[in-house]
Homo-oligomer: A and B are copies of this chain.
């Protein structure tokens, strides 16, 4: 579901492209699952999209990117495959002055340390602190973006950072899960010190734009055609999508597929 934040950014930036979105709702969340399972699911989902002749694949999930991107790039060597980790890491390196960067993500993304590696590839001196915040995913899907539950969860997850002396606080926060952008105001309020907030949605959309342009695949004429595939209950998908997209989903743009 969180991938819809990336979808929104793509829709805004690339109004000429046909967007085909697959939400693997029958097996979500990925963030608490093991690597082999995540790779298997990502390959199955990609197969379904390749059948529909996509020209470029965006892995709009930090967990799937962190765990499965190499497997996808190997399996589909002729398809441009763009993940959300590298654009996010690049944006963080640009936004941070001190190089102290806080990364909030799912259990699998944080354990895998994909962001730490991607950030330190660009800024070897960077100090990356990763905190896994599994409950934020459920909070976003429940639509509880603010209020006492969200605040209490943020205070608990962020306690190690809140206890830091001012001189060693991070100056940049990476929302390393596509579910987290709607939670940013609440996270910011709990942290209470100034820091730049980076999410991968905008930066990924920019990376897609430049890749399309570079390969001569870019379609500048406004069309704004999009279609959603969901692997489980379409009515729930439509409801939760409402928390992430501005405006409801047209039922005819939603299709059930089985993986």
Contact = CB atoms under 8 A, between A and B. Distances in A.
A32 B32 CA distance: 16
Interface residues of A, number: 30
Contacts of A35: 233
A55 interface: no
A145 to B, nearest CB: 13
A123 interface: no
Question: How many chain copies does the complex carry?
Answer: 2
Nearest to A137: B138
Contacts of A137: 138
Contacts of A232: 33-34, 37
A135 interface: yes
Contact of A233 (B37, B138, B142): B37
A97 to B, nearest CB: 33
Given A27-B26, A37-B26, A37-B233, A148 B156 contact: yes
A216 interface: no
Contact of A34 (B37, B138, B155, B233): B233
Given A26-B27, A37-B232, 19 more contacts: A26-B33, A27-B27, A32-B141, A34-B235, A34-B236, A35-B233, A36-B233, A37-B231, A37-B233, A134-B138, A134-B141, A135-B138, A135-B139, A138-B138, A144-B156, A147-B152, A147-B156, A149-B149, A149-B153
